[in-house]
Amino acid sequence: AGCGGTPAISPSKWPRPAEEGGMQLCFARLSEHAMAPTRGSTRAAGYDLYSAYDYTPPPMEKALVKTDIQIALPSGCYGRVAPRSGLAAKHFIDVGAGVIDEDYRGNVGVVLFNFDKEKFEVKKGD
Ordered by start, the domain boundaries in the chain are 16-114
**pLDDT recorded at residue 81:** 94
Fold of 16-114: Deoxyuridine 5'-Triphosphate Nucleotidohydrolase; Chain A (2.70.40)
pLDDT number for residue 45: 86
70 closest CA partner among 83, 58, 79: 79
The pair phi, psi for residue 89, each rounded to 5°, is -70, -40
**Nearest CA-CA partner of 14 in 25, 66, 78:** 25
Q: Given this model, what pLDDT does residue 42 score?
A: 85
Which pLDDT value is given to residue 16? 54
pTM of the model: 0.79
Task: Spell out, as residue ranges, where the chain has pLDDT lower than 50.
Answer: 1-2, 4-9, 11-13, 20-21
pLDDT at position 5 is: 35
Give the DSSP letter string of 43-56: T-SS-B---SS-B-
